[in-house]
Chains A and B, each alone.
Chain A
Amino acid sequence: MENEDPGLPCKGGMDLPEQKRGLDPTDRYGDESCSVSEKQEEAPAAPNNGPLNMVVDKVNGQEELREAPEELSDKDVSDSTSIDNTWEDSSEFRRQMVIGDGPSGEEEAVIQSRLATYRDEDVTAESWRAHRKHVFILSEAGKPIYSRYGNEEALSSTMGVMMALVSFIQSGDNSIRSIYSDDHKLVFVQQGPLVLVSVSHTLQSEQQLRQELLYVYDQIISMLTQASITRIFERKKNYDLRRLLTGSEKILDRLLNLVESDPCFLLGAVRCLPLPASLRDSLGTLLQKAITPNLVFSILVARSQLVTTVQEKTVIEDCRLEPTDLHLLLNLIGATSAFQTGEIWTPICLPRFNPDCYFYAYISYLDSECTVCLILLSTDKDSFYSVSDCKKRIEEGMRTQNYLQALSSGLKSPSYSVGLVGVPDLRHFMYKPLDIPDNYRQLPQFTSPELEGPYCSENERHRLFDLYHYLHGRIHSTSRPLRLIYHVAEKETLLAWVTSKFELYTCFNPLVTKAGAINVLTKLLRWIKKEEDRLFIRYPPKYSTTPNPGKGSRAPRTDGTENGFFGGGH
């Protein structure tokens, strides 16, 4: 057994909270309940901040007095920072950050071929151990289901050990949450009959790693539904779930790359394609008009950025489309239908909306380059032709008004350049407004320029996102949440700031002074204010009212789980 164990670290302290954490699917950052392990996190996880790093504690509450962001001054920062300075050696922090070499989100084709090789990796090799983050999925019976790197079959003994750990602790009416070793964190999440394990040496907090595992779980749910997974394992405890997931590994692989490189997962918000508001409105109107009974969501995306979305009225009365559901849907589409020329019709579950039921998704690209994608979600599995007809109407409308051309001009580059802001010291930022009009009905959104300059290589990108993750973890720490962090790292200076109106992460050139950084912030916030109509969906289209909407829309047709899926085979 020992020989086969590929050296998973488990010498660190183990923490066993008395209470199993609620597996609330709506769980998000920032409102976590305090737990034993969160406190433990602080000690080993707190990176060693640079000598100039200053952390502002919430207790201080400085910016709470300053409602208007423009009023933040140098004095505010220095005053507040003086309360809680952490002076630590920064060398270890640096070392941690350069380790690892995961795949980037660059070229889909390249990734796909690299992923294929990951699956064949030798799990006894040093390079296997050196990966930044491993993710394993196993069933309660200890059967391997998925491994991010290496063949899960080859890892069955490792997974067996993990399951043994989980059950040993369960037998004492506890549940295992995490294990800390010198340089690794192991995070465990149990969801129904599935156990998900993350083994990482990134700077991410336990909470962030847990959130990632929940994304992975939800992606599985999006394909199979929670109800069927429960049912399958009720019938047969040692069912081999890989039977239903073969062909879907790429979807999980891609998701795990995305959660590390696309801030939408970290921020729980969608990225909108910057567009003139008038064009966005017109496209929304077009979607709103092209409806058919039981069509509940119409979503137009371009290069995985949201253009606009329309929801059926009775659905929206219940709740809104969750960003997570959109992210998982876009990931699934990206992993399975890039370059697809036909019209796709497939069942899909939106786990945060309703984990037990399927929608039927109509997916079609509107341009030959496959950049503009229309997604129509219906509750009626037999409505393909009428939904396809809606697409024809939308296509026609876009053609006559030349919208596609107008859209594609917004697509030349992946996003916009940070240079547009016009402040040289600013390298990158992520801005999530918290005060968008009609907030409750709206999808949370964020904006971020493309990565340029020093962040073109994969390693550097990872390094930056590690820093962002670290800052985000501190801001949203359950034990000691912060409002403002000014962080001087080796190659850049970062500032994270959350107010009632926004959440902002900025990255500056390392030579920036504190006064300079604040000056930049002021300019950045002004720029965003000026551009907000273009950057965000400010006024979402009115709801559509289809002639014969699905009733009780939170539960779109319970035939989802009974519709003959998995009908054969067992």
Chain B
Amino acid sequence: MKPDGKVVLLGDMNVGKTSLLHRYMERRFQDTVSTVGGAFYLKQWGPHNISIWDTAGREQFHGLGSMYCRGAAAVILTYDVTNLQSMVELEDRFLALTDSASPDCLFIVAGNKVDLTDACAFLPESEDKQIEKPPNSFISTKVKKQVHVNDAIAFYRKILKYKMLDEVNAPAAEKMCFETSAKTGYNVDHLFETIFEMVVPVILQQKAEGLPQTVDLNNCKTAKNTHSGCCR
């Protein structure tokens, strides 16, 4: 059973990539441990098997990013809405890793941890969470949002520019920028399901073109001896 398409989560460590995937796949939020390398998940989506790679954001594994991205049909660039630096890192460190992705790769920008910000007091919290909360923690735990949706949209436009894609042909920025909370589950299903829906046509096209559908870690054998070329 070979996967048909690949979705990759990129972003600095601690922004919540693993938590987002856990929330979606396991339907819960639990303490995570810092990811090493990359973790592979398979998601059945209609007749398709979509592979999802959760990557380690730390610098230790930086050079591997492009290996995990190779042939990707979609890349989720993830940041933490309470941490401006995590957005800066996306542009400085992670965007270039997507060079190895499929030419028609989709880009999604996801701002996680909105539950921490005061702008989202309306978010549904799971019931048990509310019970164990001390009465006034609500106010004290809220922090100021550092990255707003508009910043994400601006970043999305930069991606298109970087990829030399015409905004007219690419999916609209507003559609590709998400704010999520792995903790409360807010927008998480919506994020992944929107991506899968959009990835299916890419998969079908890849199949039609007879392009390698196996996400191509295997196809890179020839590049193995050109070390630096392979993984940069």
How far is A246 from B58 in the complex, measured between Cα atoms in Å? 7
Question: How does the 8 Å CB contact mask read for A545-570 relative to B, with 1 for contact and 0 for none?
Answer: 00000000000010100111111110
B33 surroundings in chain A (CB, below 8 A): 112, 250, 335-340
Interface core residue of A246, A335, A361 (most chain B CB under 10 Å) = A246
B157 at the interface (CB under 8 A from A): no
Chain B residue at minimal CB-CB distance from A563: B231
Binds A, one of B109-117, B126-134, B219-227: B219-227
Interface core residue of A223, A339, A341, A567 (most chain B CB under 10 Å) = A567
How far is A346 from B40 in the complex, measured between Cα atoms in Å? 11
A332 surroundings in chain B (CB, below 8 A): 36
Shortest CB-to-CB span from A87 to chain B, Å, is: 51
B62 surroundings in chain A (CB, below 8 A): 565-569
How far is A250 from B96 in the complex, measured between Cα atoms in Å? 29
Shortest CB-to-CB span from B62 to chain A, Å, is: 5
How far is A246 from B25 in the complex, measured between Cα atoms in Å? 27
- Which residues of B (55-101) have their CB < 8 Å from a CB of A? 56, 58-64, 66-67, 93, 96
Shortest CB-to-CB span from A249 to chain B, Å, is: 9
* Cβ-defined contact, A564 with B66, below 8 A: yes
B194 at the interface (CB under 8 A from A): no
Contact of B37 among A109, A344, A563 (CB under 8 A): A344
Interface core residue of A224, A341, A382, A566 (most chain B CB under 10 Å) = A382
* Cβ-defined contact, A562 with B228, below 8 A: yes
Chain A residue at minimal CB-CB distance from B39: A342
* Cβ-defined contact, A336 with B59, below 8 A: no
Q: What total count of A-B pairs have CB within 8 Å?
A: 134
B31 surroundings in chain A (CB, below 8 A): 109, 112
How far is A345 from B232 in the complex, measured between Cα atoms in Å? 18
Shortest CB-to-CB span from B78 to chain A, Å, is: 16
Shortest CB-to-CB span from B96 to chain A, Å, is: 7
Contact of A567 among B39, B220, B231 (CB under 8 A): B231
A566 surroundings in chain B (CB, below 8 A): 59-60, 62-63
* Cβ-defined contact, A383 with B227, below 8 A: no
A170 at the interface (CB under 8 A from B): no
How far is A108 from B232 in the complex, measured between Cα atoms in Å? 36
B162 surroundings in chain A (CB, below 8 A): none
A248 at the interface (CB under 8 A from B): yes
A346 surroundings in chain B (CB, below 8 A): 36-38, 56, 61, 64
Interface core residue of A223, A224, A247, A340 (most chain B CB under 10 Å) = A247
A contact face: mostly helix, strand, loop, or mixed: mixed
How far is A161 from B22 in the complex, measured between Cα atoms in Å? 45
A439 at the interface (CB under 8 A from B): no
* Cβ-defined contact, B56 with A247, below 8 A: yes
A478 at the interface (CB under 8 A from B): no
* Cβ-defined contact, A342 with B228, below 8 A: no
* Cβ-defined contact, A345 with B38, below 8 A: yes
B41 at the interface (CB under 8 A from A): yes
Interface size grouping (class) on chain A: 35 or more
B206 at the interface (CB under 8 A from A): no
Contact of B25 among A224, A341, A345, A559 (CB under 8 A): A341
* Cβ-defined contact, A564 with B64, below 8 A: yes
B38 surroundings in chain A (CB, below 8 A): 344-346
* Cβ-defined contact, B67 with A381, below 8 A: yes
Contact of B59 among A112, A243, A388 (CB under 8 A): A243
Chain A residue at minimal CB-CB distance from B13: A247
How far is A385 from B2 in the complex, measured between Cα atoms in Å? 8
* Cβ-defined contact, A224 with B36, below 8 A: no
- Contact A247 to B218, CB < 8 A, known contacts A336-B36, A344-B38: no
* Cβ-defined contact, A385 with B93, below 8 A: no
B35 surroundings in chain A (CB, below 8 A): 336
A250 surroundings in chain B (CB, below 8 A): 33-34
Contact of A248 among B22, B60, B221, B231 (CB under 8 A): B60
Shortest CB-to-CB span from B19 to chain A, Å, is: 12
Chain A residue at minimal CB-CB distance from B3: A385
Contact of B228 among A341, A557, A564 (CB under 8 A): A564
Shortest CB-to-CB span from B86 to chain A, Å, is: 14
B225 surroundings in chain A (CB, below 8 A): 559
Chain B residue at minimal CB-CB distance from A249: B34
Contact of B40 among A342, A361, A381, A386 (CB under 8 A): A342
A347 at the interface (CB under 8 A from B): yes
Shortest CB-to-CB span from B4 to chain A, Å, is: 13
A343 at the interface (CB under 8 A from B): yes
B179 at the interface (CB under 8 A from A): no
* Cβ-defined contact, A382 with B41, below 8 A: no
- Which residues of A (320-339) have their CB < 8 Å from a CB of B? 332, 335-339
A416 at the interface (CB under 8 A from B): no
- Which residues of B (198-232) have their CB < 8 Å from a CB of A? 214-215, 217-221, 224-225, 227-228, 230-232
- Contact A382 to B231, CB < 8 A, known contacts A346-B38, A566-B62: no
Interface core residue of B64, B215, B225 (most chain A CB under 10 Å) = B64
Shortest CB-to-CB span from A542 to chain B, Å, is: 28
Shortest CB-to-CB span from A356 to chain B, Å, is: 14
A347 surroundings in chain B (CB, below 8 A): 37, 61, 64
- Which residues of A (214-233) have their CB < 8 Å from a CB of B? 223-224
* Cβ-defined contact, A341 with B41, below 8 A: yes
B26 at the interface (CB under 8 A from A): yes
* Cβ-defined contact, B13 with A384, below 8 A: no
How far is A284 from B41 in the complex, measured between Cα atoms in Å? 27
* Cβ-defined contact, B25 with A248, below 8 A: no
Chain A residue at minimal CB-CB distance from B226: A559
B215 surroundings in chain A (CB, below 8 A): 385
How far is A569 from B58 in the complex, measured between Cα atoms in Å? 11
Shortest CB-to-CB span from A457 to chain B, Å, is: 25
B141 at the interface (CB under 8 A from A): no
Contact of A569 among B30, B59, B217 (CB under 8 A): B59
B37 surroundings in chain A (CB, below 8 A): 344-347, 361
Shortest CB-to-CB span from B17 to chain A, Å, is: 12
B54 surroundings in chain A (CB, below 8 A): 342
* Cβ-defined contact, B64 with A559, below 8 A: no
- Which residues of A (416-474) have their CB < 8 Å from a CB of B? none
* Cβ-defined contact, A245 with B60, below 8 A: yes
Chain B residue at minimal CB-CB distance from A568: B62
A23 at the interface (CB under 8 A from B): no
* Cβ-defined contact, B40 with A248, below 8 A: no
Question: How does the 8 Å CB contact mask read for B4-36 relative to A, with 1 for contact and 0 for none?
Answer: 000000000100000001100110001101111
List 26 contacting pairs A-B, 8 Å CB cutoff, sorted by A. Answer: A112-B31, A243-B59, A244-B60, A245-B60, A247-B56, A250-B34, A336-B36, A337-B39, A339-B30, A339-B33, A341-B26, A343-B41, A345-B39, A345-B40, A346-B36, A346-B38, A361-B37, A381-B67, A381-B224, A382-B220, A563-B230, A564-B64, A564-B66, A565-B60, A566-B60, A569-B93
Taking A248-B60, A342-B39 as known contacts, 15 extra A-B pairs with beta carbons closer than 8 A to each other, sorted by chain A number, are A112-B33, A245-B60, A246-B13, A248-B58, A340-B39, A344-B37, A381-B217, A382-B220, A385-B217, A559-B227, A565-B61, A565-B64, A565-B231, A567-B62, A567-B228
Closest 10 CB pairs of A and B: A346-B37, A564-B231, A564-B63, A342-B39, A567-B63, A247-B34, A565-B63, A247-B58, A562-B227, A343-B40
- Interface set of B (CB-CB < 8 Å, partner A): 2, 13, 21-22, 25-26, 30-31, 33-41, 54, 56, 58-64, 66-67, 93, 96, 214-215, 217-221, 224-225, 227-228, 230-232
